[in-house]
Amino acid sequence: MGVALGGVRGSGLADHPAGDRLIGPRFRDVGGILLAADLDSLSRDEIDTTQQHNLSATLTAARQSTDVWKRFPGLETVATVGDLQTLPLLSPSDLAAGCPPHSADLLFDPRTSGLVLRSSGTASRPKTVYHSWDFTERVGLLGVRGVRAALETPPTRVANCLFAGDLNGAFLFVHDITRCLPALVFPMGENTSPAEAAAIIEAHGIDTLVASPAYGTELLTSGRDGHPLPVRNFLFIGESMGPERSRLVRLAAPDVAVQSLAYSTSETGPLGYQCPHQTGAVHHLHEDANVVEVVDDAGRPVPSGTPGELVVTPLTTSGMALFRYRLGDRGRLLAGPCGCGSAARSVVLLGRMPNSMTIDTVTFSSDHLMSALRTLGVAKPSDCQFQVLWEGHRYRVRLLLSPAAPNGITTDMIRTALRDFHEVHEVIASPRCVAFEVQRAVTGQFARTRRGKVPVLYQHGVSS
């Protein structure tokens, strides 16, 4: 990615009336998109002006691409950020249908060089995104800007414990951030065992750990032969920490600053970052680089402060064109300024839109399961995992409950509670289900996906 941290490489502002206000060392120009070196130093007016400038650059690039212009009818009437609301939403399945290798509809230029990523997710069809090198440079700039904003003590030695390979960008993202900070990087990946990682961290005095919440919690709570590690910062990414893991880390490593590395997706790059005043799922938005909206089920914007689905338009002139892309995350914009004084808006992430699982012909969602479990006092998705374990054409179902779930819940109680929730009940009552049982397990024993996420609904050895 090799993010250039020099001055502005070219103004790209010739035909923008407010352009002269934006030129200077405070901005970097990446393919005509202006990114603030420090978004928190901009006034609200400057943020809006930059965002509008970058939307105009995006629209100009879309107009020059026959494929993109055809794919998004209605773009001809869009000029301002507010006009984006007239466009239909782009769903993950729309993206899957319009992406390479079978389609070039969403590509600004099919001959672009760059970085190819595949999005994780529950959709049956993969979403492959062809990011340009300019886009990848933008991703790195936003990432390093986010880490600088999040940590009071900048990292000097970074353990990169994220998943590498499999067309996943997280590992490269951290690698590039570390290079730009600059800091010393230890590219461990997620396959290094926590015990081995702890030994390397101790031996080299590594001060910053970047890992999934599940891996980082396991590492920080087990330490090194019972002593705490020298880690000062834990940056997590991929999913939220959740109250139980946060509690365990606070208990084992009370002096470690725990912050989100970024709110980011493979398709869009970084969308949010944390300042030291923000914890948990609260993030500032990279508003110069994206337009984020919160919408209702019909795709209409909700009043500020109301929860809804997050939709994003990444501002870019190359790579993939995504207008009003549905992120599948729920969120709410926060009213009022943040304690850090930044004029950048903040969002609180409220979890994924309900995800679903299909067993034979029966489909049910995580929300459906949670409604059933709530009747027994299990309120948080992070306190349970519904596992379907295939054995040939039959399967076993195991419901794991964390220690934070109420005591005394038996398999029979769950079976009874599920009777009112037909689809989930059908899965455990099917003749193909050879066993159903409830087990207690600490969060570290919950199954993780290859990319380190802990899903509520989990299948192993999917049937043929």
Other Cβ atoms less than 10 A from the Cβ of 179: the count is 17
Instruction: Write down the least CB distance from residue 99 to Zn ion, Å.
Output: 35
- For position 443 contacting Zn ion by CB under 5 A, the verdict is no
- For position 342 contacting Zn ion by CB under 5 A, the verdict is yes
- Would you give the binding string for Zn ion spanning residues 297-326, x where CB under 5 A is met? ------------------------------
Q: Which stretch binds Zn ion (CB under 5 A): 28-36, 104-112, 339-347, 373-381?
A: 339-347
Between 104 and 144, CB nearer to Zn ion: 144
Between 167 and 338, CB nearer to Zn ion: 338
328 and 92 Cβ atoms separated by less than 8 Å: yes
Instruction: Write down the least CB distance from residue 275 to Zn ion, Å.
Output: 3
- For position 447 contacting Zn ion by CB under 5 A, the verdict is no
Instruction: Write down the least CB distance from residue 155 to Zn ion, Å.
Output: 19
Q: Is 51 helix (H, G, I), strand (E, B) or coil?
A: helix
170 and 237 Cβ atoms separated by less than 8 Å: yes
Instruction: Write down the least CB distance from residue 304 to Zn ion, Å.
Output: 17
- For position 344 contacting Zn ion by CB under 5 A, the verdict is no
- For position 277 contacting Zn ion by CB under 5 A, the verdict is yes
The CA distance from 155 to 172, in Å, is 17
- For position 334 contacting Zn ion by CB under 5 A, the verdict is no
Between 212 and 290, CB nearer to Zn ion: 290
Instruction: Write down the least CB distance from residue 253 to Zn ion, Å.
Output: 24
208 and 235 Cβ atoms separated by less than 8 Å: yes
Question: Where does residue 431 rank: exposed (0-12), middle (13-18), buried (19+ CB within 10 A)?
Answer: exposed
Other Cβ atoms less than 10 A from the Cβ of 102: the count is 11
- Would you give the binding string for Zn ion spanning residues 230-269, x where CB under 5 A is met? ----------------------------------------
Between 17 and 336, CB nearer to Zn ion: 336
- For position 275 contacting Zn ion by CB under 5 A, the verdict is yes
Between 125 and 277, CB nearer to Zn ion: 277
DSSP secondary structure code for residue 357 in this structure: E
Between 324 and 345, CB nearer to Zn ion: 345
* Both structure tokens of 383: 């306190």
Instruction: Write down the least CB distance from residue 48 to Zn ion, Å.
Output: 18
- For position 340 contacting Zn ion by CB under 5 A, the verdict is yes
Quickly list DSSP for 366-430: HHHHHHHHHTTT---GGGEEEEEEEETTEEEEEEEE-TTSPTT--HHHHHHHHTTSHHHHHHHHS
Query: Which of 167, 338, 376, 447 forms a contact with Zn ion (CB under 5 A)?
Result: 338
Q: Which stretch binds Zn ion (CB under 5 A): 54-62, 158-166, 275-283, 383-391?
A: 275-283
Between 298 and 335, CB nearer to Zn ion: 335
Instruction: Write down the least CB distance from residue 314 to Zn ion, Å.
Output: 22
**Side-chain half-sphere of 138: how many Cα atoms within 13 Å?**
30
Between 78 and 275, CB nearer to Zn ion: 275
Instruction: Write down the least CB distance from residue 53 to Zn ion, Å.
Output: 24
Between 168 and 274, CB nearer to Zn ion: 274
Long-range contacts of range 298-301, CB-CB < 8 Å, 24 or more positions apart?
299/88, 299/89, 299/324, 300/85, 301/85
Between 152 and 412, CB nearer to Zn ion: 152
Burial 148-170 (b: 16+ CB within 10 A, else e): bbbbeeebebbbbbbbbeeebbb
Q: Is 46 helix (H, G, I), strand (E, B) or coil?
A: helix
Q: Which stretch binds Zn ion (CB under 5 A): 100-108, 190-198, 296-304, 334-342?
A: 334-342
Crossing angle of the two packed helices 366-374 and 422-429, in degrees rounded to 10? 90
The CA distance from 293 to 291, in Å, is 7
Question: How many Å separate Cα 304 from the centre of its chain?
Answer: 22
Instruction: Write down the least CB distance from residue 348 to Zn ion, Å.
Output: 13
Quickly list DSSP for 287-355: TTTEEEEEE-TTSPBPPTT--EEEEEEE--SSSB--SSEEEEEEEEEPPS--TT---S-EEEEEEESPP
Instruction: Write down the least CB distance from residue 274 to Zn ion, Å.
Output: 8
Q: Which stretch binds Zn ion (CB under 5 A): 53-61, 237-245, 274-282, 381-389?
A: 274-282
159 and 186 Cβ atoms separated by less than 8 Å: yes
The CA distance from 389 to 396, in Å, is 5
Instruction: Write down the least CB distance from residue 305 to Zn ion, Å.
Output: 17
- For position 409 contacting Zn ion by CB under 5 A, the verdict is no
- For position 291 contacting Zn ion by CB under 5 A, the verdict is no
Other Cβ atoms less than 10 A from the Cβ of 320: the count is 27
Instruction: Write down the least CB distance from residue 284 to Zn ion, Å.
Output: 6
Residues that bind Zn ion (CB under 5 A): 275, 277, 338, 340, 342
